[in-house]
């Protein structure tokens, strides 16, 4: 237990102040985006100031909802994001556990290869990826949207590190308790790694949800668009500001599921960032 | 059921030999304590018995089964780890049930086994808590409970008391001895604490550098340590060691001379002692009496309540600790004369081998 002295209390208050200030700076553009999304486009053509003064409108949102394709895109995004998240968690956990706890020939080179893969930028492999999926005739499928991202070195490393930090004695106790490797993995290791799973899961989900580049390349048929690609396709020209309110409403709309997700997993996100396992 | 038999066990990590050719028989129902300094290979030995580590060579038999090549869970052993190694995400009850569930024990049988063990260990009120909500002593009991419910043939304990405070440690020592009385299983207990060994063991195995120094009943090890290492490791305060030279014999018993010239009589057969080479005399505090004999100056007085220890410095600078028989201890700096009980002094040769008194016919 730390003893609180007056000076640390003052220090805490200063830190709090700084954090509040940073948060305010951070949130300002978001507030602006939300505000603009409720303004009529004609008004915004003239001025983008006067956020808090009428007129307000919901037209930008009804426009989105009236475009029948939006829900299909949202469903696509959900399938891709959830699929990518689930499969990445499974793969990264199994691989990480293998690296952390088993010995097999070639383990070190494989691990190094994983590290090296961290440094490969997405853009560098987009052409071969495109060619590959074109050859396999898989473009405009969920498989094409989901699979390229499953080889996720960061996830593997995260899980490897997390599994390594679990006391080996706990697994040895389970071994003496007659548990097979698989039972140990399922009943001991996985439950203990929930914080890391949550971090990785949320990260992967958000990444997949926000992804634009690969879906733009791979999904060329509108019914296979993800939300990001679909919304972008509704904007004929980025430079023209005539649909600014509509544009902002699209951004808010696309961000809503992410916000909901955060509200659900806030505890795990905070715990994972703070490095403290949740009980 | 049956005893445990270690036959020619060796263990190396790469070129590093941890243990070489260790053999030992442990009878069914024994409480064997492996005692040795940190790093001498005690944990390694336990882990080989448990199956968490494979011996480089040698065999382990339990009863009439050879167990060194079978899976840890199937050996009929249960282990209590130094840090307890409870499953943090499971309740106490789930911790204890896990091993039974893994072998498909029926639900009601699991419940009754847990109930019995929980009652024995007085943890019934903790069954729905998680390890994080328990004190060190309570975790310890749960760890023992997790072992008990499996009704193993052999219990393995790896320094399970080292994380407890002194009061709890001595209480747990007594409880473990009681538990052993109750379950009658073979127990192997590993520790570097000689008090734990002396209080609980039916047999002590003193280890050093991966070798067995001596095996014997606690008092036998205390009275007749076979090497200087054992003599120094067992007993508190540690045995006094004084350099001596041989000074002939009297009536077939060896005489030795201390550094200050005092001749000390022993009951050790002079024929058994090597003729030459450096010798060390060993004598415990309770066998040194003030009065006459070699001169010494009092350095420190340590009052322990049931006994008072006096540390005195002799001529050559070495320290002798002895039991002050009276209630009034000498003052620091005071000069005393100390005599060593001939029947209880022992000699060690240069290799550390012990020579003990031989009772007269
Ligand atoms: N996996 C390992 N690799 C290399 N050396 C080890 C390993 N495990 C233990 N040792 C060494 O083996 C010796 C005995 O260790 P251990 O059995 O843990 O000793 P103790 O339990 O008596 O303190 C120590 O010197 C230790 O450094
Ligand atoms: Mg140890």
Total domains in the fold of chain A:
1
Can you give the CATH number for the domain in which B346 is found? 2.40.50.140
The backbone torsions φ and ψ at residue B29, rounded to the nearest 5 degrees and listed phi first, read 85, 0
How many angstroms separate the CA atoms of B78 and B156, rounded? 6
- Answer whether residue A119 is part of any domain: yes
Residue A210 located in a structural domain: yes
Same domain, B184 and B254: no
Give domain status of residue A75, yes or no. yes
A273 touches chain B (CB under 8 A): no
Mean pLDDT of B282-311: 93
Ligand nearest to the CA of B18: 1
pTM score over 0.90:
no
C-alpha torsion sign, points B248, B251, B257, B262: negative
Residue A42: inside a domain, yes or no?
no
pLDDT number for residue B109? 96
Contacts of B99 in chain A (CB under 8 A): 176-179
Query: Structural domain of residue A134, as residue ranges?
Result: 68-234
Local confidence band at A106 (pLDDT 50, 70, 90 cut-offs)? very high
Distance CA B23, CA B34 (A): 13
- What residue's CA is closest to ligand 1, atom 5? B13
Per the domain annotation, does A47 fall within a domain?
no
Structural domain of B42: 4-226
Are B15 and B146 members of one domain?
A: yes
Query: From the CA of A181, how many Å to the nearest CA of chain B?
Result: 12
Helix (H, G, I), strand (E, B) or coil at B87: coil
Among residues A90, A65, A230, A106, which one has the least CA distance to residue A152?
A: A90
**Together in a domain, B44 and B114:** yes
Torsion sign (Cα): A50, A51, A53, A55: positive
Query: How confident is the model over A78-102, as pLDDT tens digits?
Result: 999 999 999 999 999 999 999 999 8
Q: What is the pLDDT of residues A23-63, one digit of tens each?
A: 999 999 888 888 888 888 777 777 776 666 778 888 888 88
Both B79 and B149 in a single domain? yes
Q: Whose C-alpha lies nearest to ligand 1, atom 2?
A: B13
Task: Give strand ranges (E) for B235-283.
Answer: 240-250, 253-257, 263-269, 279-283
Q: Are B31 and B191 in contact (CB under 8 A)?
A: no
Identify the residue with better confidence: B162 or A278.
B162
Percent of chain B with pLDDT over 70: 100
Q: What is the mean pLDDT of residues B105-125?
A: 94
Q: How far apart are CA B161 and CA B169, in angstroms?
A: 6
Q: Which two tokens stand for residue A277?
A: 């396992």
Contact indicator for B285, B321 with CB cutoff of 8 Å: yes
Task: Give yes or no for a contact between B258 and B264, defined as CB atoms under 8 angstroms apart.
Answer: yes
Does the residue B204 lie in any domain? yes
Give the pLDDT mean for A261-278.
65
Which atom number of ligand 1 is nearest to the Cα of residue B36? 22
- Examine the domain organization and report whether B107 and B136 are in the same domain: yes
Look-up of token digits 């919901």: A58
- Please check whether residue B85 is in contact with residue A169, taking contact to mean a CB–CB distance below 8 angstroms: yes
The structural domain count of chain B equals 2
**Domain boundary, last residue among B169, B195, B226:** B226
| Alpha-carbon distance B293 to nearest alpha carbon in chain A (angstroms) | 56
Task: Please answer whether residues A205 and A226 qualify as being in contact, where contact means their C-beta atoms are separated by less than 8 angstroms.
Answer: no
Q: Which residues contact B134 (CB under 8 A, 6 or more apart)?
A: B92, B126, B142
> Are the CB atoms for B120 and B181 separated by under 8 Å?
no
End-to-end, the C-alpha distance of chain A in Å comes to 19
Q: Residue A115: which CATH number?
A: 1.10.3720.10
Q: Which residue, among B207, B210, B157, B192, has the nearest Cα to B13 in the 3D structure?
A: B210
Residues B123 and B30 in one domain: yes
Do the chains contact at A176 and B86, CB–CB below 8 Å? no
The answer as to whether B63 is a domain residue is yes
Name which residue leads in pLDDT, A275 or B46.
B46
The answer to whether A253 touches A71, Cβ cutoff 8 Å, is: no
CA of B36 to the centre of ligand 2 (A): 10
Nearest to B252, CA basis, from B358, B142, B117, B121:
B358
* Whether residue B214 sits in one domain with residue B270: no
Q: What is the pLDDT of residues A198-248, one digit of tens each?
A: 888 888 988 899 899 999 999 999 899 998 898 888 776 555 555 778 888
DSSP B131: G
Closest ligand to the CA of B160:
2
The reported pLDDT for the residue numbered B199 is 92
Tell me, yes or no, whether B48 and B112 share the same domain: yes
- Under an 8 A CB cutoff, do A176 and B51 touch? yes
Question: Rounded CA gap, B145 and B139, in Å?
Answer: 10
A83 domain-assigned: yes
Q: Which atom of ligand 1 is nearest to the CA of B42?
A: 22
- Write out chain A residues lying below 8 Å of B91, CB-based: none
Helix (H) or strand (E) holding B154: strand B154-158
**Is A61 contained in some domain?**
no
Q: Is the Cα dihedral A238, A241, A246, A250 positive or negative?
A: positive
Nearest chain B CA: its distance from A264 CA (Å): 21
Query: Does the structure show a pLDDT above 70 at A21?
Result: yes
- SS3 per residue for A199-250: HHHHHHHHHHHHCCHHHHHHCCCHHHCCHHHHHHHHCCCCCCCCCHHHHHHH
Q: Examine residue A46 and state whether it is found in any structural domain, yes or no.
A: no
B217 and B264 co-located in one domain = no
Q: Are strands B154-158 and B77-80 parallel, antiparallel or unpaired?
A: parallel
**pLDDT score for A239:** 53
Query: Reduced to 3 DSSP states, what percent helix, strand and coil does chain B have, rounded to the nearest 5?
Result: 30, 35, 35
- At residue B152, does pLDDT exceed 90? yes
What digits encode the pLDDT tens for the residues B331-351? Answer: 999 999 999 999 999 999 999
- Say if strands B253-257 and B31-35 run parallel, antiparallel, or are unpaired: unpaired
Q: Give strand pairing partners of B4.
A: B26, B62
Asked if the structure places residue B14 within a domain, the reply is yes
Query: According to the 3-state scheme, what is the secondary structure of chain A?
Result: CCCCCHHHHHHHHHHHHHHHHHHHHHHHHHHHHHHHHCCCHHHHHHCCCCCCCCCCCCHHHHHHHHCCHHHHHHHHHHHHHHHHHHHHHHHHHHHHHHHHHCCCCCHHHHHHHHHHHCCCCHHHHHHHHHHHHHHCCCCCCHHHHHHHHCCCHHHHHHHHHHHHHCCHHHHHHHHHCCCCHHHHHHHHHHHHCHHHHHHHHHHHHHHHHHCCHHHHHHCCCHHHCCHHHHHHHHCCCCCCCCCHHHHHHHHHHHHHHHHHHHHHHHHHHHHHHHCCCCC
pLDDT at B306 over 50: yes
* 3-state secondary structure (DSSP) of residue B36: coil
Q: Alpha-carbon torsion A38, A44, A50, A55, what sign? A: negative
The 3-state DSSP class for residue B214 equals strand
Report yes or no: B39 and B46 within 8 Å, Cβ to Cβ.
Answer: no
Specify the DSSP element, H or E, that contains B355.
strand B354-355
Q: Let me know: does B193 contact B170? Beta carbons within 8 Å.
A: no
Does any CB of chain A come closer than 8 Å to the CB of residue B99? yes
3-state secondary structure of B297: strand
**Do B201 and B52 share a structural domain?**
yes
Q: What is the mean pLDDT of residues B206-216?
A: 95
A115-133 core/surface letters (b: 16 or more CB in 10 A; e: else): eeeeeeeeeeeeeebbeeb
The span from the CA of B93 to the CA of B145, in Å, is 10
ipTM metric: 0.85
Give the contacts of B144 (CB within 8 A, at least 6 positions apart).
B80, B121, B160, B176, B179
Query: Is residue B28 in a domain?
Result: yes
Does residue B66 sit within a domain?
yes
Give the domain-ending residue among B163, B194, B226: B226
Specify if B25 maps to a domain.
yes
Name the strand (E) or helix (H) holding B137.
helix B136-148
For a mutational test of ligand 1's pocket, the pick from B19, B43, B208, i.e. the residue with the most ligand atoms closer than 8 A to its C-beta, is: B43
For residue B360, tell me if it sits in a domain: no
Q: Are B19 and B143 part of one and the same domain?
A: yes
Task: Note whether A155 and A93 are within 8 A (CB).
Answer: no
Report the residue from B50, B83, B89 with minimal CB separation from A176.
Answer: B50
User: What residues does ligand 1 touch, defined as CB less than 6 Å away?
Assistant: B 13, 16, 18, 36, 38-44
* Residue B103 and residue B220 in one domain: yes
Does the pLDDT value for residue A6 go beyond 80?
no
Read off the CATH number of the domain in which B151 is found.
3.40.50.300
């Amino acid at each position: 237990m730390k003893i609180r002295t007056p000076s640390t209390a003052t220090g805490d208050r200063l830190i709090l102040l700084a954090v509040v200030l940073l948060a305010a700076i951070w949130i300002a553009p978001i507030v602006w985006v939300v505000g603009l999304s409720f303004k009529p486009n004609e008004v915004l053509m003239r001025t983008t100031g006067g956020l808090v003064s009428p007129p307000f409108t919901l037209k930008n949102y009804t426009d989105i909802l009236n475009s029948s394709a939006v829900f299909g895109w949202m469903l696509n995004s959900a399938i891709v994001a959830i699929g990518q998240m689930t499969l990445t968690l499974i793969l990264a956990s199994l691989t990480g556990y293998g690296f952390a706890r088993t010995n097999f020939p070639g383990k070190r080179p494989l691990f190094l290869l994983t590290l090296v893969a961290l440094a490969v930028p997405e853009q560098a492999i987009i052409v071969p990826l495109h060619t590959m999926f074109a050859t396999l005739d898989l473009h405009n499928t969920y498989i094409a949207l989901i699979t390229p991202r499953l080889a996720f070195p960061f996830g593997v490393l995260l899980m490897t590190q997390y599994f390594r930090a679990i006391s080996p004695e706990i697994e040895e106790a389970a071994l003496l308790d007659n548990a097979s490797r698989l039972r140990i993995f399922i009943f001991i290791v996985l439950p203990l790694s929930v914080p890391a799973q949550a971090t990785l899961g949320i990260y992967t989900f958000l990444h997949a949800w926000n992804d634009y580049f690969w879906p733009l390349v791979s999904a060329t048929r509108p019914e296979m668009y993800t939300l990001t690609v679909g919304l972008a396709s509704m904007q004929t020209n980025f430079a023209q500001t005539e649909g600014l309110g509509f544009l902002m409403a699209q951004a808010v709309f696309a961000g809503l599921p992410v916000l909901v997700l955060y509200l659900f997993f806030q505890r795990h996100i905070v715990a994972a960032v703070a490095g403290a396992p949740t009980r | 059921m049956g005893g445990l038999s270690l036959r020619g066990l060796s263990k190396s990590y790469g070129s590093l030999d941890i243990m070489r050719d260790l053999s030992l028989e442990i009878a069914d129902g024994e409480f064997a304590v492996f005692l040795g300094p940190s790093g001498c290979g005690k944990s390694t030995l336990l882990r080989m018995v448990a199956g968490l580590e494979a011996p480089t060579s040698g065999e382990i038999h339990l009863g009439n089964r050879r167990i060194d090549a079978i899976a840890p869970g199937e050996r009929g052993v249960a282990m209590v780890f130094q840090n307890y190694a409870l499953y943090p995400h499971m309740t106490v009850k789930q911790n204890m049930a896990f091993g039974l569930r893994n072998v498909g024990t029926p639900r009601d049988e699991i419940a009754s086994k847990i109930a019995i063990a929980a009652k024995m260990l007085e943890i019934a009120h903790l069954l729905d808590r998680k390890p994080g909500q328990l004190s060190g002593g309570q975790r310890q009991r749960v760890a023992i409970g997790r072992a008990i419910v499996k009704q193993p043939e052999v219990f393995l304990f790896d320094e399970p008391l080292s994380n407890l405070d002194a009061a709890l440690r001595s209480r747990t020592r007594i409880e473990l001895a009681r538990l052993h009385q109750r379950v009658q299983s073979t127990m192997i207990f590993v520790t570097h604490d000689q008090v734990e060994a002396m209080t609980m063991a039916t047999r002590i195995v003193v280890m050093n550098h991966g070798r067995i120094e001596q095996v014997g009943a606690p008092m036998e090890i205390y009275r007749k340590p076979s090497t200087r290492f054992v003599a120094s490791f067992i007993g508190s305060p540690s045995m006094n060691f004084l350099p001596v030279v041989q000074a002939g014999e009297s009536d077939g018993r060896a005489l030795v001379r201390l550094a200050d010239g005092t001749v000390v009589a022993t009951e050790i057969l002079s024929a058994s002692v090597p003729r030459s080479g450096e010798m060390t005399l060993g004598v415990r505090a309770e066998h040194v009496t003030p009065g006459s004999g070699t001169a010494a100056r009092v350095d420190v007085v340590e009052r322990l309540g049931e006994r008072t220890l006096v540390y005195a410095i002799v001529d050559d600078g070495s320290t002798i600790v002895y039991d002050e028989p009276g209630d009034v201890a000498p003052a620091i700096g005071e000069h005393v004369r100390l005599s060593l009980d001939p029947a209880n002094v022992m000699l060690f040769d240069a290799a550390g081998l012990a020579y003990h008194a031989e009772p007269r016919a």
